[in-house]
Chains A and B, each alone.
Chain A
């Protein structure tokens, strides 16, 4: 196998936040400390650092290891050279997101905060402009959101956006699959691909691998993150599939599922985002010690989306018609650019890439077993030499 040496990979990773790769002497201490490395295959996380040091960008692009790391920070705590392997893994995830994305936008957004902000503003203004130009009649006597923004029209917009974003995201994911399986992509039987599908959904909905992660706050962080994901998936279901039921002018009683579910989603988005922002600000947990602009933008946008969504509901219930319409537009002018920028080109994409990486690992292992070869991920070899 020929390997191209990309002498700029090292600098490239630096732009994605991996600033201490130089310090690594490849002693393997990180691998020994990592609570996940035993079943993550060989050299986890050291080999990712090695690939960066040796400029093997193609092999790095084909490597899914970074997605298997949940940043407990143990390796960085114990690294004898203080080379910060956990942050290098984080940078590698950003790099991979950018590599998978064929449009080049992810790279642009990660490497220039201003480009990302400009894109968000542009999409936000476009959404606001659409409403200013084509909104329905403004009824001020009562709150008539469905007159101002007919739910069917919004739904059409929703599905167009979902279709576009899915196209970008899935095409990126396809590149990830193609690269990581390499030559084997066609050799592996369809049955193997099929049988591993439950793995994907299991990890998508539970992130259960994270539970093995080592930091003292690991369990709590997993819970907060799970809460965030549940809030996000709730919201996705409500605005995409159940929009007609969710966006109504009728005010249901508090305990009605439509309201309760909405409140749950709002809280499940607000609490973790606020908590993560505080933690990042105070650099409390290892994962939050280093923050790139992209991390902040994602958190702030997610927070504002949930906040304006909750506000729409509050002013609507209070019967403030004009405020409802204004905040509704504002909500969409934040939510839409957040999704457009983050889902295929930004941090949101890890929601797909992480379980996909675990799925691919499962496929590779199952394929190896089928071939009769020893499992690719060797686990820990216990020998008594």
Chain B
């Protein structure tokens, strides 16, 4: 790893994470005239949302909403984007926050790459596509996914056999095998942490036997199966390509469970399962769709109606927590459940082709763990002040979206806007303080601790 001083840079606001929260926060700040720098550890921005099929409760196409935001961010004159870059540490300097970041090599010169994919077509090595949750294949050098931004190729050294075919195919000489990881610093007036979430493991509950069956899948895998450019082109089950005729959705499989250390509700599973079941009833009109739930938490605007529509469509809702899944020899799965609302025959074993587990939303691993912001008991960033719903315990550091706890997309975007506003206000105040005559700083500071119309309009 080499450190390049020339890469060090300054910005008004550093946005850590290029998912929907980070993009929204960066756009809101940039539109107010602040310079925003987005650092994203993946090769493309878009986060989890760009991988989703449709969003609830409107059933709008997720990429149709995300792609314009991604595009707007990357083309905004006030926004700079660093992909393949991860924050290593964050420290407070007198003047603001300093982040040390590392950019991983992609072995492609982004300034030269024109996204023609000739390298990808030339490459022979294929590996399970991480964007498709491993369902499809991706070549060792490839554009990460169809609507990735930036549209440049990335070489994965874990699979590359160094045959040189990509360099031979590239018309612009963009392949650069000499790239190395580089570390540099970013000085920012304010930081917005939009580091998102992870899902906990499918294998947390051994009684689910998820490790023994490819047909016990993550909800993100189901999103990919349902996506317009799905890895299989249609909904098939991963064990043998069967068109599933009976699909089970197991709610609360990774949250609201003290034995897993996740006592809280992940907030989005009820609704995305209902959405997935609705989409499946379109994709597979003959299939039986059963949701095994404890309570349906349809709390948002229009959600309850959405749930009622799903019931009216003939989707089965069985109240009971599934705690045992038996994989069968033919790839089918036997779901054990107590149908708690049934008068009799309440202990049931139901056969399904495919089972989706609602994994719990947990804080992501890696980079954000190094950020010295206090965590709440659930592991997400702590937001100590009820009246300052974006502020962390560090002045000038804000959290947006699921980095502070499970949220749906609607709430994430609202939250990101709020964080951008809080960060903007903070930057304004600092500017004013720094430009104030020395003798008056003390008095002015007191005045401007409270937000005023003056501060907002001062830019």
Contacts and interface: CB of A to CB of B under 8 A. Distances in A.
B351 to A, nearest CB: 4
B246 interface: yes
B347 A37 contact: yes
A79 B259 contact: yes
A385 B246 contact: yes
Interface stretch (A38-46, A130-138, A154-162, A293-301): A38-46
Nearest to B251: A27
B246 A29 contact: no
A378 B246 contact: no
Interface in B334-368: 336-340, 342, 344-351
A182 interface: no
A79 B323 CA distance: 9
B321 interface: yes
B408 interface: no
A31 B345 CA distance: 12
Interface string B386-421: 000000000000000000000000000000000000
Given A27-B321, A79-B259, A385 B316 contact: yes
Contact of A385 (B256, B290, B342): B290
B287 to A, nearest CB: 10
A80 B259 contact: yes
A29 B339 CA distance: 10
B15 interface: no
Nearest to A379: B347
B129 interface: no
A38 B290 contact: no
A379 B349 CA distance: 10
A77 to B, nearest CB: 7
Interface in A13-49: 25-29, 31-33, 37-38, 42-44, 46
A141 interface: no
Contacts of B316: 385
A380 B348 contact: yes
B340 A27 contact: yes
A81 interface: yes
A384 B339 CA distance: 15
A248 interface: no
B322 interface: yes
Interface in A200-222: none
A44 B338 CA distance: 9
Contact of A32 (B257, B324, B344): B324
Most chain B beta carbons < 10 A, residue from A43, A82, A379, A385? A385
Given A77-B259, A80-B258, A32 B323 contact: yes
B207 interface: yes
A27 B319 CA distance: 7
A31 B257 contact: no
B294 interface: yes
B340 A29 contact: no
Interface string A356-385: 000000000000000000000011111111
A27 B320 contact: yes
B126 interface: no
A236 B171 CA distance: 97
A381 B295 CA distance: 23
Interface string B314-331: 001001111110000000
Contacts of A379: 347
B321 A29 contact: yes
Interface string A319-340: 0000000000000000000000
B80 interface: no
B350 A43 contact: no
What's the dominant secondary structure at chain A's contact region? loop
B304 interface: no
B340 A32 contact: no
Contacts of A44: 347
B347 A80 contact: no
A216 to B, nearest CB: 14
A59 interface: no
B207 A43 contact: no
B340 A43 contact: yes
Contacts of B339: 28
Contacts of A382: 348-351
Nearest to B325: A32
Contacts of A37: 338, 347
Interface in B282-319: 288, 290, 294-295, 316, 319
A67 B246 CA distance: 38
Contact of B340 (A28, A77, A380): A28
A78 B258 CA distance: 9
A77 B323 CA distance: 12
B174 interface: no
Contacts of A29: 321, 323
A27 B337 CA distance: 9
Contacts of B320: 27-28, 31-32
A378 B345 CA distance: 5
A380 B338 CA distance: 10
A117 B342 CA distance: 46
A20 B252 CA distance: 21
A43 B346 contact: yes
A46 to B, nearest CB: 6
B340 A33 contact: no
Interface in B59-73: none
Contacts of B323: 29, 32-33, 78
A80 B260 CA distance: 8
B259 A78 contact: yes
30 contacts: A25-B295, A26-B340, A27-B320, A27-B321, A27-B340, A28-B338, A28-B346, A29-B321, A29-B323, A31-B338, A32-B322, A32-B337, A32-B338, A33-B207, A33-B323, A37-B347, A42-B344, A43-B346, A78-B207, A78-B259, A78-B323, A79-B259, A80-B252, A80-B258, A378-B347, A379-B347, A380-B349, A381-B349, A384-B246, A385-B288
Interface of A: 25-29, 31-33, 37-38, 42-44, 46, 77-82, 378-385
Given A29-B321, A32-B321, 13 more contacts: A27-B340, A28-B338, A29-B323, A33-B324, A37-B338, A42-B345, A79-B258, A378-B344, A378-B345, A383-B350, A385-B246, A385-B316, A385-B350
